[in-house]
Amino acid sequence: MSEPKIEGYKFKPGYSGMAADTASDQTMFKGVHWGKAMMWIFLLSDTFIFSCFLISYMKGRASTPVEWPNPSEVFALNAFGVPVPLLLIAIMTFVLITSSGTMALAVKYGYERNRKMCGWLILATALGGLTFVGMQAFEWSKLIHEGVRPWENPFGAPQFGSFFFMITGFHGTHVSIGVIFLFIYAYKTFAGHYDEGKRGWFTSMKGDYVEIEILGLYWHFVDLVWVFIFAFFYLW
């Protein structure tokens, strides 16, 4: 976010800057808070986990001679007596993007030290996430009611259920954890912990609005993963 300044070090732009930063016998990610760098590295490892899930889904779907259930029909929802394809999934997608937008604005207002605005936007993000998890629970119970199990389902290839529960379940867990942290951070923001530099509960680190950006990175990642799940699992 900020233009980094380090005394006695001249920043170069672009790839020559990358080479200089990496070879400078100092910290490599200059101007990046260590918590932010660690969050990025965690997200990178999480990317690999989700990639493994999606790749195994691709391989499972590609290697079965049995017809794959048509997600457009499986996830259709009756609206006013008419089956609308993927209705719930589309709403879930829009809810998650909305919450991602409020999170981005919360980060911006946090850095501008606008405590109230930042807090309300984090709260809005948390409520969006909660709505998403609620709709996912509804979707799960609907499919379980229709007889979808990890080992069988009435629509087609039996692998469908195991991939569905594994992938959306793991993503839903991420959303749930994110919602818990969003509520905690909303409280901490309203209480002014980031304005006063109050130390955290599990860390001696002084509170700063950079923590909102770190939380934001996690939340945007959850949205990012949903973009891929939406494309590959629901649309493909």
Partner 1 sequence: MSEAKKEQTTTHKIGIYLWIWGLLFVLSFFSYMVDWYQFQGLLRWSLILIFMFLKAGLIMAFFMHLFWERYALVNVLLWPMTAIACFVGLMVAEGKYTLFSRIFYFFVGGQ
Q: Is 64 in the site for partner 1 (CB under 8 A)?
A: yes
> Binding string to partner 1 for residues 87 to 116, with x set by CB under 8 A, is what?
---x--xx--x--xx-xxx--x--xxx---
User: Is 64 or 176 the residue whose CB approaches partner 1 more closely?
Assistant: 64
How far from 172 is each of 49, 76, 148, 179, 186, CA to CA, in Å?
Answer: 14, 20, 18, 10, 21
Q: Is 236 in the site for partner 1 (CB under 8 A)?
A: yes
Q: Give the position of tokens 């499919």.
A: 143
> Cα separation of 147 and 95, whole Å?
27
Q: Is 231 in the site for partner 1 (CB under 8 A)?
A: yes
- Who contacts 135 (Cβ-Cβ below 8 Å, separation ≥6)? 88, 91, 92, 95
> Cα separation of 89 and 95, whole Å?
10
**Binding partner 1 by CB under 8 A: which of 120, 163, 221, 233?**
221
> Binding string to partner 1 for residues 17 to 56, with x set by CB under 8 A, is what?
xx--xx-----xxxxx----x--x---x--xx--x---xx
Closest by CA position to 39, among listed 220, 185, 175 = 220
Contact 122, 108 (CB under 8 A): no
| 122 conformational bin, left if phi > 0, alpha if psi -120 to 50, beta if neither | alpha
Question: In the 8-state DSSP scheme, what is residue 156?
Answer: S
Q: How far is the CB of 168 from partner 1 (least distance, A)?
A: 17
User: Is 42 or 147 the residue whose CB approaches partner 1 more closely?
Assistant: 42
C-alpha gyration radius of the chain? 21
Q: Is 157 in the site for partner 1 (CB under 8 A)?
A: no
Q: Is 3 in the site for partner 1 (CB under 8 A)?
A: yes
> Amino acid identity of 177?
I
Q: Is 65 in the site for partner 1 (CB under 8 A)?
A: yes
Q: Is 59 in the site for partner 1 (CB under 8 A)?
A: yes
Q: Which residues contribute to the site for partner 1 (CB under 8 A)? A: 1-5, 11, 14-15, 17-18, 21-22, 28-32, 37, 40, 44, 47-48, 51, 55-56, 58-59, 61-65, 72, 85-86, 90, 93-94, 97, 100-101, 103-105, 108, 111-113, 206, 208-209, 213, 216-217, 220-221, 223-224, 227-228, 230-231, 234-236
